[in-house]
């Protein structure tokens, strides 16, 4: 599926001109990347939070696309940016998603693991369903363009994928509380896996038997999500076992261990795709496992290299995606006739995000002691910083192929507009909103950060309480929270010593040292 019409018919008959046009196109793309990185550095250096780096990349793409539209080179430039959807899923998204999982090892993320899972799994499901239902009801009462119910759920799934790139750089500059940072980062990373699994499930449901019952839909989703997760975790543990048993932490084997470390994530991705699962979910959990176990088995030089390498390619890919989104919205023929669909979708997304954040925060606070409960101001910050980015755009791009009769094009137009608006407006105002909510300057100072050294916030449930339904729910949630603490002990006492060359205590100290390196 081509997202830009192939142009330059004359160049087809003149290979020399076609090669020249391709070279100029690549040069233009490189120039935009260079300009984006330089502009982003200048903005960050001068602490200008109203135009984050992602917003700057979007604007560069918009400006170049607008100039191309009013010039005589429009057809050629369209041909230069003539990409397939596979290009995004095979070359751009894997390094972005792997780097996200690769950065989830430090202690703050695992100390908040229960909350992160609640927001990213349950919360994304709530947001997807609420968005889909509201869009469908809006179509029934002629507020928005009417779509079939399954397609509304597909739209709700893809638009529920959040992107942390824009806000996290502002978080670091302003010194936001470590736990709030971990919640925003962890939720946005894991909810990509949930969103793409929901989207694939709904797409499969539409393509095959529309009369399947609810339990078959649940089974298909669990098959996709759990299967992809298992494949990613399995490949991650295999890489850790090979690096540990082979003794690759030798300086003269740096080339070998770096090559293996780079190849395993793509092996995980292709394995999941070959099995009919979701490669994005698989490579995400491979990144988490490899950073937690395999990374510790590398030599110091190799650790520095692989960290810099994946950070480099993920930054290039992420910046290119935002440039392309800006270029695409200026160049392509979008379905702007359904402006009402875009307007009300933004409102519905805000409502769904609120249902996600505040309901999940309520459940998390049921099992946390008072010092570690998520404050209301942090909940508001979580709600406001739910920007849409690369994953939503890529899934919307795929929907053009998956949905007939122009429905996919309508969803693609709406998603592109929503991504641009949220990145430019919400991303640019995030610093001001955080200062208004008074969550600025809490890094490592507040009671939440101090309590990280305790028992992960778990308080043993009291079975002497009255056996009301509310208390039973609270006890069940506390038991679930206890299981996450038990996993931490299992990891420290058994998994880390078995798969790495250091014990659990060393790994914990290593995570503290690496924290500030990984969040940059």
Model confidence, pTM: 0.76
Report residue 82's pLDDT band, with 50, 70 and 90 as the boundaries. low
Cβ atoms 411, 393 nearer than 8 A: no
Task: Return d(Cα 46, Cα 36) in angstroms, integer.
Answer: 15
Report residue 476's pLDDT band, with 50, 70 and 90 as the boundaries. low
Residue 392 token pair:
């939503």
Would you state the pLDDT for residue 467? 46
3-state SS, residue 455 = coil
Task: Return d(Cα 293, Cα 243) in angstroms, integer.
Answer: 9
CA atoms within 13 A on the CB side of 35: 17
User: Who wins on pLDDT, 49 or 398?
Assistant: 398
Would you state the pLDDT for residue 266? 92
Report residue 451's pLDDT band, with 50, 70 and 90 as the boundaries. very low
pLDDT exceeds 90 at position 131: yes
pLDDT exceeds 70 at position 304: yes
pLDDT in tens, 93-104: 888 888 888 876
Would you state the pLDDT for residue 214? 66
Would you state the pLDDT for residue 4? 43
Domain range annotation of the chain: 84-317+340-410+423-437
Task: Return d(Cα 465, Cα 461) in angstroms, integer.
Answer: 9
3-state SS, residue 138 = helix
User: Who wins on pLDDT, 247 or 417?
Assistant: 417
DSSP state of 1: -
Residue 5 token pair:
């019409």
Report residue 500's pLDDT band, with 50, 70 and 90 as the boundaries. confident
% of the chain exceeding 70 in pLDDT: 74
pLDDT in tens, 267-289: 999 999 888 888 888 998 999 88
3-state SS, residue 438 = coil
Task: Return d(Cα 367, Cα 457) in angstroms, integer.
Answer: 8
Cβ atoms 167, 198 nearer than 8 A: no
Task: Name the one residue in this structure whose structure tokens are 């997304």.
Answer: 349
Residue 227 token pair:
């299967």
Residue 133 token pair:
């239902």
pLDDT in tens, 342-376: 899 999 999 999 999 999 999 999 888 888 889 99
- In CATH, the architecture of 84-317+340-410+423-437 is Up-down Bundle (1.20)
Measured CA to CA in angstroms, residue 496 lies from 191, 293, 303, 345 at distances of 26, 7, 17, 45
pLDDT exceeds 80 at position 78: no
User: Who wins on pLDDT, 52 or 396?
Assistant: 396
pLDDT exceeds 70 at position 428: yes
pLDDT in tens, 157-195: 999 988 776 677 777 777 777 788 888 888 887 888 888
The 3 state secondary structure assigned to 53-66 is: HHHHHHHHHHHHHH
Q: What does pLDDT average to over the chain?
A: 77
* Span 45-56, average pLDDT: 80
Cβ atoms 299, 105 nearer than 8 A: no
Would you state the pLDDT for residue 2? 41
Would you state the pLDDT for residue 479? 56
Measured CA to CA in angstroms, residue 255 lies from 90, 238, 261, 262, 307 at distances of 24, 19, 10, 11, 14
How many Cβ atoms are within 10 Å of 463's Cβ, its own excluded? 8
DSSP state of 462: P
Residue 307 token pair:
């960290």
Would you state the pLDDT for residue 3? 41
Which of 96, 97, 95, 61 is CA-nearest to residue 80?
61
pLDDT in tens, 201-236: 888 877 665 555 667 778 878 888 889 999 999 999
* Span 408-418, average pLDDT: 88
3-state SS, residue 388 = strand
pLDDT exceeds 60 at position 327: yes
Would you state the pLDDT for residue 475? 60
* Span 30-35, average pLDDT: 91
How many Cβ atoms are within 10 Å of 472's Cβ, its own excluded? 13
Would you state the pLDDT for residue 463? 37
């Amino acid at each position: 599926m081509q997202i830009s019409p192939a142009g330059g018919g004359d160049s087809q008959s003149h290979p020399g001109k076609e090669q020249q046009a391709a070279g100029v196109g690549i040069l233009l793309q490189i120039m935009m990347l260079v300009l984006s990185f330089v502009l982003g550095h200048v903005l960050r250096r001068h602490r200008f939070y109203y135009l984050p780096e992602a917003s700057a990349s979007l604007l560069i793409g918009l400006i170049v696309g607008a100039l191309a539209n009013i010039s005589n080179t429009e057809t050629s430039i369209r041909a230069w940016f003539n990409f397939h959807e596979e290009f995004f899923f095979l070359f751009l998204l894997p390094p972005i998603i792997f780097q996200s999982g690769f950065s989830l090892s430090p202690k703050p993320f695992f100390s908040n693991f229960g909350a992160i899972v609640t927001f990213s799994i349950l919360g994304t499901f709530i947001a997807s369903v609420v968005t889909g239902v509201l869009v469908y009801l809006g179509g029934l009462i002629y507020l928005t363009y009417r779509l079939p119910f399954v397609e509304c759920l597909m739209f709700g799934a893809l638009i529920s994928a959040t992107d942390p790139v824009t806000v996290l750089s502002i978080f670091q500059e302003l010194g936001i509380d470590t736990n709030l940072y971990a919640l925003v980062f962890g939720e946005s990373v894991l909810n990509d896996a949930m969103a793409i699994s929901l989207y694939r499930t709904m797409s499969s449901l539409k393509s095959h038997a529309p009369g399947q019952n609810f339990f078959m839909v649940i089974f298909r989703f669990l098959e996709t999500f759990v299967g992809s997760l298992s494949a990613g975790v399995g490949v991650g543990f295999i890489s850790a076992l090979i690096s540990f048993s082979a003794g690759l932490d030798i300086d003269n084997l740096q080339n070998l261990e770096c090559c293996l470390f780079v190849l395993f994530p793509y092996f995980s991705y292709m394995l999941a795709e070959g099995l009919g699962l979701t490669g994005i979910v698989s490579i995400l959990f491979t990144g988490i496992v490899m950073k937690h176990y395999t990374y510790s088995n590398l030599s110091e030089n190799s650790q520095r290299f692989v960290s810099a390498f994946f950070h480099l390619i993920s930054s290039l890919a992420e910046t290119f995606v935002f440039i392309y989104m800006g270029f695409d919205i200026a160049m392509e023929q979008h379905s702007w006739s359904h402006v009402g669909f875009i307007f009300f979708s933004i409102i519905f997304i805000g409502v769904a995000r609120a249902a996600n954040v505040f309901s999940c925060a309520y459940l998390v606070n049921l099992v946390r002691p008072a010092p570690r409960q998520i404050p209301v101001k942090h909940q508001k910050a979580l709600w406001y910083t739910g920007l849409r980015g690369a994953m939503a755009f890529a899934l919307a791009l795929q929907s053009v192929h998956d949905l007939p009769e122009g429905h996919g094009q309508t969803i693609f137009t709406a998603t592109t507009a929503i991504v641009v608006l949220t990145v430019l407006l919400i991303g640019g105002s995030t610093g001001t909103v955080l200062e208004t909510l008074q969550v600025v300057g809490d890094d490592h100072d507040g009671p939440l950060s101090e309590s990280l050294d305790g028992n992960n916030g778990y308080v043993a449930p009291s079975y002497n309480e009255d056996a009301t339904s509310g208390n039973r729910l609270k006890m069940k949630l506390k038991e679930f929270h206890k299981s996450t603490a038990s996993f931490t002990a299992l990891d420290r006492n058994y998994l880390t010593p078995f798969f790495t060359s250091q014990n659990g205590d060393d790994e914990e100290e290593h995570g503290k040292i690496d924290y500030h390196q990984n969040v940059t």
